[in-house]
């Protein structure tokens, strides 16, 4: 069928018909991940903090998950702190950096961060902290020299994302981390979109904090990680019990953490596939669009970019209309990031790159993943060409 069925007030999509090209918003949960977590939703319900064996076997499952996450990040298990999501991880890192040294009240970040960082910094600015917002060029790249100059003796934290969720543009994080360390400030990177898509190895990187989110990795929603470098002092964001080595209070979401461990293990095994097969699907799609649709353009750096993301502008077209027609054809994609969908504002990322409101509103993000097939790419190409053509014909007739 492929259309939405609103019977009973609940929209139901027949999954075999769905072409899901919104993997930067969230991902399909891997069945192997579900299988791994199921016992912890059913018979293995002990509290990992309990001293008896029924609790301790659950605690061991958390240890295994921590090891698996640490392996994919190239760090130590003791540096992994489980949280409820990427947003919490980022809030915790910022909070800790500001509380560790009260004489440092300045943060450096970019204008293209996810709202987890952006809104938190905006709020801090209202509370008297000073924020330096670094701009980006038309390709979405940050000027590393400008970043270096922005760091001051009272800078508590520099927070720069590893990969942009809207354009996929990658920032030179190890290089930035070196600069920040040499200037004596702390460094946080929001790597929510990078993990599992490009190699991220923390062993030699001068990174103090890194945020990760499970649901971008074929794991259920509501679980994340904050990496805290073992030599970095940390003040908890959540206070209460002594879970997570005293760094994050609250009984752990055991089943989801177990799921995240498995998802990270699988992500490690699929990393090469992301760089080859997923990249090939994205490239075929993007090149097909540029070839077939007049006035289509790529937003952002096409070289230093995630292998799965394509952000495209369709001249003279309202992306919300494309989104709606593609939805009717059973294709999911996004105009801007999922977190800003529904808002009338043009994407802050595209605006920061110097694009007009009009260009930002004519842009769509397609993000591929390991469950996509080449056949879906062909069908999606035909569908986008058809929808854009139809909207252009309507505009000419009007
Ligand atoms: N950071 C980036 C770059 C993201 O893309 C997202 C989610 O879209 C987040 C942070 C927030 O992660 P979560 O949904 O786990 O809070």
Please state the pTM of the whole predicted model.
Answer: 0.95
Q: Is 213 in the pocket of ligand 1 (CB under 6 A)?
A: yes
The best mutation among 188, 192, 211 to test binding of ligand 1, ranked by most ligand atoms within 8 Å of the C-beta, falls on 192
Angle (CA) 165 167 171, round 5°: 80
Q: Is 282 in the pocket of ligand 1 (CB under 6 A)?
A: no
Q: How far apart are CA 188 and CA 210, in angstroms?
A: 6
**Ligand 1 atom nearest residue 190's Cα:** 1
Helix runs in the chain, H state only: 31-37, 53-73, 86-100, 115-126, 144-150, 173-182, 254-273, 279-292, 319-328, 348-352, 357-361, 374-397
The best mutation among 92, 193, 226, 341 to test binding of ligand 1, ranked by most ligand atoms within 8 Å of the C-beta, falls on 193
| Phi-psi label, residue 91: left if phi above 0, alpha if psi -120 to 50, beta otherwise | alpha
Give the bridge partners for 108, in sequence order.
Answer: 132, 158
Active site residue 333: no
For every one of its 398 residues, what pLDDT tens digit does the chain have, with 9 covering 90 and above?
344 454 445 555 666 689 999 999 999 999 999 999 999 999 999 999 999 999 999 999 999 999 999 999 999 999 999 999 999 999 999 999 999 999 999 999 999 999 999 999 999 999 999 999 999 999 999 999 999 999 999 999 999 999 999 999 999 999 999 999 999 999 999 999 999 999 999 999 999 999 999 999 999 999 999 999 999 999 999 999 999 999 999 999 999 999 999 999 999 999 999 999 999 999 999 999 999 999 999 999 999 999 999 999 999 999 999 999 999 999 999 986 444 445 558 999 999 999 999 999 999 999 999 999 999 999 999 999 999 999 999 888 87
Residue identified by tokens 């470098």 is 229
Q: Is 224 in the pocket of ligand 1 (CB under 6 A)?
A: yes
């Amino acid at each position: 069928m492929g259309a939405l069925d609103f019977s009973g007030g609940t929209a139901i999509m027949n999954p075999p018909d769905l072409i899901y090209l919104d993997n930067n918003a969230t991902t399909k949960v891997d069945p192997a991940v579900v299988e791994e977590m199921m016992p912890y939703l059913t018979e293995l319900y002990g509290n990992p903090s309990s001293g008896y064996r029924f609790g301790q076997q659950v605690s061991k499952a958390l240890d295994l998950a921590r090891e698996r996450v640490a392996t994919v990040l190239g760090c130590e298990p003791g540096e992994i702190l489980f949280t409820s999501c990427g947003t919490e991880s980022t809030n915790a890192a910022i909070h800790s950096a500001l509380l560790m040294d009260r004489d440092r009240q300045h943060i450096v970040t970019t204008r293209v961060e996810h709202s987890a960082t952006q809104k938190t910094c905006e709020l801090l600015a209202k509370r008297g902290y000073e924020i330096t917002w670094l701009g980006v060029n038309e390709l979405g790249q940050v000027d590393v020299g400008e970043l270096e100059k922005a760091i001051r003796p009272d800078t508590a934290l520099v927070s720069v994302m590893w990969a942009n969720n809207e354009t996929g543009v990658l920032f030179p994080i190890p290089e930035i981390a070196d600069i920040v360390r040499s200037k004596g400030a702390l460094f946080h990177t929001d790597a929510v979109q990078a993990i599992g898509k490009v190699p991220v190895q923390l062993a030699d990187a001068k990174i103090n904090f890194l945020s990760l989110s499970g649901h971008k990795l074929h794991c259920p929603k509501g679980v994340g990680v904050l990496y805290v470098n073992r030599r970095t002092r940390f003040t908890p964001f959540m206070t209460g019990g002594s879970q997570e080595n005293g760094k994050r209070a609250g009984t752990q979401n055991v089943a989801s953490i177990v799921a995240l461990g498995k998802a990270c293990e699988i992500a490690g095994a699929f990393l090469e596939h992301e760089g080859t097969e997923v990249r090939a699907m994205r490239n075929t799609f993007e090149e097909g669009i540029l070839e077939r649709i007049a006035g289509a353009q790529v937003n952002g750096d096409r070289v230093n970019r995630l292998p799965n993301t394509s952000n495209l502008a369709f001249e003279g077209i309202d992306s919300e209309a494309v989104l709606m027609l593609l939805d009717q054809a059973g294709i999911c994609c996004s105009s801007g990031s999922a977190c800003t969908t529904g808002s009338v504002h043009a994407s802050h990322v595209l605006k920061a790159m110097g694009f007009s409101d009009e260009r930002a509103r004519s842009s769509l993000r397609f993000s591929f993943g390991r469950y996509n097939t080449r056949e879906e790419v062909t069908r999606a190409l035909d569908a986008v060409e058809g929808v854009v053509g139809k909207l252009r014909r309507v505009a000419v007739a009007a």
